[in-house]
Chains A and B, each alone.
Chain A
Amino acid sequence: MKSSLLVVGRYLAGAGKGGSLRRIRGAVLSVALSLIPLIVVMEVSDGMIQGITARYLELGTYHLQAIAGRDAQEADGEILSRMRHLPGVDLAVRERQGVALAYSKQGRGGVTLRAVPPELWDSDPGLRAYMEIRSGAFDLSTEDSAVVAAEIASRLRVQVGDEIKILTTRSLAGDSLMPRVSTFTVRGIVSTGYQEMDKLWIYIPIGRGDRIMSRETSRQLIGIKVQKPFEPLEAISRGLRGVLPQGFRIFTWNDLEYAQYVSFRTTRYLLIFIMALIICVAAVNIFSSLVMIQIEKREEIAILKSLGMSGGEISAIFIILGFLVGCVGAFLGVAAGLALSVSINEVIAGVETLINGAWGFVRGLFLLPNAEEHIRIFNPDFYLEHIPVTIKLEELALAAGFSLLVALFAAWLPSRNAGKIRPLEVMRKH
């Protein structure tokens, strides 16, 4: 083994006039380059999924929901207060949700009415962090207040101060429905950052909501937020069950957004799988580099064997080379991937600047009219303004280990062939 290391050391030192070092450098570079997209996907996608999920949780789903059954008792202020005092719980608010038709003088559309406590904006930092107020304020202080999501406001063509009417229904005996029209004044126009939410939501005060939405055509829930929503929530769920009256069922955000979350995860795994395939392509590069080294070094291998080196020691030279290529390539790839991941927002901004600069140049060159829109790689209506990056060391180690394994596997066949070289055959040809 010592002699194998000695020979590898000489190959790596690039002494004499051998071409091995150039080939080894090439193999290292291919491993490093193939690892960069994998690391970026792993680190950025996780942060992105968590960021997107967090936005859904803070604005819509809450971290947990206690949903009332048909015969559930009313959750009064004392129960909510006891829930808020449970360890790890930050917020517990009652909400009533139902579907309705909203209309103004200039437009109409189906909406989801969210009747929430007027003080929600002040008591929920998560809401404040993710909700953007486009105009007015999140003001539900009076019974006729409504806070309208941006897309609906656009559809109804209303602004702050305008009046809107909301048509809800109430079930009567014999399965018939009684329509009810309520008038509200727009106090604020808000955006969640997602078009699908902005197309649906209108916030009204909970007291008014209880009156205009019947129990039969709406659902009552208690929205709960905790300090660590991405950690296991079983213990908090148990605590909440102990406080809640009969007829309530607890759901975690994972239960409620399971399909979406699984979809994100599946996409992430698919991306990682594709990126891992790139590493396998890099393995072909390692394989071909080592095969070329083996062919170039046939004569030297024959000499080493005639000087007493065993087939195993000759094979070890190539395994060590594969190992080193894997190690150095993994180190460089992880380092470069991490650097790119942590600066992904700046990189995207830089690329956008370049694209816009180039597009501006082309426009100027061909005397095209100036474009109003700034070209964006990711539309923030659907993605995130700022991509959060979470570094997971165990995933980095896994990626580096995988590339190392692939490199060793790629080195295996050339090493086996090198170990079998018969000195006489090579020397006779010489």
Chain B
Amino acid sequence: MSEAVLVLKDVSKTYASSSEKLTILRSVSFSVDPGKIVVITGESGCGKSTLLNLIGGLDTPTSGSIEAGRYQVGALSEDGLTKYRRNVLGLVFQFHYLLREFTALENIMLPARIAGLSSHEAREKAEILITDVGLESRKNHYPTALSGGERQRIAVARALVNDPLLILADEPTGNLDEGNSRMVEDLLFSVVRKHGKTLLLVTHDSQLAHRSDQRYTLHGGELLPA
């Protein structure tokens, strides 16, 4: 068996206020092998996004460990987190989060430029990906000139440009209508499979879970096999 891309051991997350402690995640443990598509489902507010934020290094666990691509995520310094995000992760959020000053193609190129690729190299990779998501004809358009579905497809392409070990997708179709949702889902799965990437996707849509290699349900802060 090949080495896991992501390993979580007994990860817990508790938010403490002055009056009470709110435990969102309780001893979550699982691992993801390379090239697999893993879907975690659960109701709104069950902690799916929190789990993804912990894995993405955007938040830190209260206890437990997260290892992704040889990085101990919870223990990383600011510099370490920067390297981790550059080298290991591709992120797709519920909202597209494209930069409005950059064209569609430039938005895809941006993580590659941040990682240090030349403009030429980044452009080559972005051109391939924008073709993969079917928006080659829209590459010079700014996000404001794109539809919601198109923006999210660009966001998917952007997540792939640095050839990440792990793609984290947080309700990537949550802001889209049904038609666009299906299109983006299909695209995400097909592109990820085409490029042989590992995808961890959280969603409240249980139908989506059926298309995965591995699926879990998050309930009451505990992760259960679905």
Query: Chain A residues in contact with chain B, CB under 8 A?
Result: 2-3, 6-7, 10-11, 13, 15-18, 20, 299-300, 303-311, 313, 422-424, 427, 430
Chain B 59-89 against A: per-residue CB contact (8 Å), 1 yes, 0 no?
Answer: 1000000000000000000110011011000
Taking a contact as CB atoms under 8 Å apart, the answer to whether A308 and B85 are in contact is yes
- Quick one: given A11-B101, A18-B100, are A308 and B58 in contact (CB under 8 Å)? no
Are B113 and A2 within 8 A (Cβ)? yes
**CA separation between A308 and B162, bound complex, in Å?**
10
Residues of B within 8 A of A430 (CB): 95
Q: Is B111 an interface residue (CB 8 A)?
A: yes
- Which residues does chain A contribute within 8 Å of B102, judged by CB atoms? 10, 15-16
- Which residues of A are found within 8 Å of B100, using beta-carbon distances? 16-18, 300
Question: In the complex, what distance in Å separates the CA atom of A11 from the CA atom of B100?
Answer: 10
Max chain B C-beta neighbours (<10 A), residue from A17, A18, A20, A303: A303
Contact indicator A308/B82 (Cβ below 8 Å): yes
Bound Cα distance A300, B101 (Å): 10
Interface magnitude class on chain B: 20 to 34
Q: Which 5 A-B pairs have the closest CB atoms?
A: A308-B86, A16-B100, A10-B101, A424-B58, A310-B82
Docked pose: A424 CA to B81 CA in angstroms: 13
| Interchain nearest-CB distance for A318 vs B (Å) | 15
Assess the B142–A306 pair: CB atoms within 8 A: no
Taking CB as reference atom, which chain B residue is nearest A11?
A: B101
Q: Which residues of the partner chain A approach B158 to less than 8 Å between Cβ atoms?
A: 307
Chain B, 31-62, contact with A by CB distance < 8 Å: what is the 0/1 string?
A: 00000000000000000000001001011000
| B58, B59, B79, B86 interface centre (most CB from chain A within 10 Å) | B58
- Flag if A17 contacts B95 (CB, 8 Å): no
B83-122 CB mask vs A (1 if < 8 Å, else 0) is 1011000010101010111110010001101111000000
Residue of B nearest to A422 (CB): B58
Q: Is B143 an interface residue (CB 8 A)?
A: yes
Given A304-B110, A427-B58, 13 additional A-B pairs, CB 8 A: A6-B113, A10-B99, A13-B101, A15-B102, A15-B103, A16-B99, A16-B102, A18-B100, A300-B100, A304-B114, A307-B91, A310-B78, A311-B78
Given A309-B82, A310-B78, A16 contacting B91 (CB threshold 8 A): no
Interface check B190, CB cutoff 8 A: no
